[in-house]
Structure 1
């Protein structure tokens, strides 16, 4: 048997031309240059990537520092104390109604104790874009730690937490959030949003040097911060004094809400929050403020419900030579039940026990004399009159 031998395979060798192309010294230099260029490109890409990461890190650090700065000013720890936070109840500001106490103060000057000049309990219902503003006269008689005081003394007795507790007890509510602004802060805030628009009813013109330097005429007015503050502080020239001042304060708040929610460019909200942080102290976070503004955008601020607590002051409301405002307690309890249910408070707009439906829009349609005399007409009054009934705000 013959054995067949496998043919011997020729090993593949590069041709002389190919070998010259691969192994020539000239080509070795060219490949070295290409390798060097590849390494250079990799270093450049790594450099760009590191630069981008560095910029992002700087941006994150800067944003964190900005946010920390905002929060430290908004949540001033000398006012938003742990004691206050223990009293406030949790709420989801964009998904459920909550109560917020709004305080206007005269600011600390020369070591004097700060006093609360404006006290407004607000119920805010973002899902339904509805707000109710209830003013509390600063001279309202309350019991604090077993003693008899005017409610605005609560702040000097124990800061914001004592004020929140006093309003909780008076109105039988649980307040979730707190905000305070000084007179100077209010001026700056209104200037920061470009001023506010208010229709001043005839008879509510202001010329009161004690309230401020601005004279305010009747009719449609665009007010800067100084004018708005003067309008919200004036009381001496009006028939029902402090009650007119409280109505004007609610009108200013309504106009401010309208400016922020309906007239400002939404892209300016973040910069507005930064401005607010210099003027307002609140337990709300910057993100909560932005979310709440966005949730409430487009609401009709003329339909904000308005009232003050049922109350009165006369010769019988003096205690130890000091004049107090006394509360109609049963009427207040009934009014607050309606407020708590998200209904029209139907509370008074001046001194008195009962009231009728009234909104911020109604406040611009009646003078202080109309409210004080019980002759004010409101949107609900007009509806009743069309049905053959007569109704007034008192």
Structure 2
């Protein structure tokens, strides 16, 4: 390589570096402006008697992530996915607790599947049901439709998922690393047949996807895309989490790795009651998980 080509290459590298730095500063400035803009503009209805919506710890965010066929449907639509997500900026950890959709709990005074709560009263009823089930102070939610999942993945250029042998066999795909577009990622998460452990196999796929999506979204090169991603999925997403909170937590978790994201599933077992299949939670084991992870949010029982 002659001197002229070396100089050109060096200039290009410097320009690329300056572009990245500028983009990062632009995003940080945008996040800062959003925090100043709407920090005192949060609105929302109280979800518990005498309990105002509040973020108890500014370094933590606890919310329920709900996947549905379509957002905005107040009645008639059951949740397909339920996850409690706890993000801690100080420790740089994310804890995800999946709640199987057939979990048998008290819904509006009757024993029913937990995913039925949404069909009775939307996200308000879903949150109240989870609060009562786990006796936790839960106020925030993010409800996304299947279309939002597709659009979000495509907006970030796809997602890489390492498919284990057992799941690959069940889904009739090759094991190993796959780069999925939005539709492929959604199909991977929604696949239901062929798992030896029934719905728990599907939950495992959903957890894998969420972990990899978070990792992809918080890559330095993708952080600048977050406002655009949110804008793209906003028509298929409903949430009472402020934009400033979303962006500040996204920035705090830039370049997060697998070791910082922990996944759990409410322990239990399948059973038939009156001809209906349920997932019966193991109360003792569930309380143990709750106390270890959600100890800052326990309500008096």
TM-score exceeds 0.5: yes
Deviation at 1:207, TM superposition (A): 6.7
Q: Deviations over 1:189-208 (max 9, x none)?
A: 11111111111111211676
Radius of gyration: which is bigger?
1
Q: Deviations over 1:303-329 (max 9, x none)?
A: 31111011101xxx3222111111111
Pairing 1:188–2:151 present:
yes
Alignment of 1:325-340 (within 5 A): 325-340=279-294
Rounded Cα–Cα distance in structure 2 between residues aligned with 1:85 and 1:186:
30
Rounded Cα–Cα distance in structure 2 between residues aligned with 1:261 and 1:140:
32
SS of residue paired to 1:123? strand
Pairing 1:160–2:117 present:
no
Rounded Cα–Cα distance in structure 2 between residues aligned with 1:265 and 1:312:
39
Gaps of 5+ in 1: 1-62, 209-214, 343-394
The answer to whether the 8 A contact 1:102-1:121 is kept is yes
- Report the TM-score, using the length of structure 1 for normalisation: 0.60
SS of residue paired to 1:204? helix
The answer to whether the 8 A contact 2:74-2:119 is kept is no
Rounded Cα–Cα distance in structure 1 between residues aligned with 2:233 and 2:91:
25
1:142 to 100, 105, 118: 105
Task: Report the counterpart of residue 318 of structure 1 in structure 2.
Answer: 272
Rounded Cα–Cα distance in structure 1 between residues aligned with 2:70 and 2:226:
26
Rounded Cα–Cα distance in structure 2 between residues aligned with 1:335 and 1:106:
29
Deviation at 1:265, TM superposition (A): 3.7
Give the number of the structure with larger relative contact order, counting CA–CA contacts within 8 Å between residues 6 or more apart: 2
- Report the TM-score, using the length of structure 2 for normalisation: 0.77
Pairing 1:261–2:207 present:
no
**Alignment: residue pair count:** 257
Rounded Cα–Cα distance in structure 1 between residues aligned with 2:73 and 2:66:
21
Task: Report the counterpart of residue 42 of structure 1 in structure 2.
Answer: none
Task: Report the counterpart of residue 55 of structure 2 in structure 1.
Answer: 91
Rounded Cα–Cα distance in structure 2 between residues aligned with 1:111 and 1:269:
28
Q: Deviations over 1:253-283 (max 9, x none)?
A: 1111011101534333332332232332111
Rounded Cα–Cα distance in structure 2 between residues aligned with 1:140 and 1:302:
28
Gaps of 5+ in 2: 1-29, 297-301
Task: Report the counterpart of residue 237 of structure 1 in structure 2.
Answer: 194
The answer to whether the 8 A contact 1:102-1:119 is kept is yes
Task: Report the counterpart of residue 103 of structure 1 in structure 2.
Answer: 66
Using a 3 Å threshold, how does the CA distance of structure 1 residues 287 and 85 change in structure 2: closer, same or farther?
farther
Q: How large is the Cα RMSD of the aligned pairs? A: 2.8
Deviation at 1:302, TM superposition (A): 4.4
Pairing 1:121–2:78 present:
no
Higher-strand-fraction structure = 2
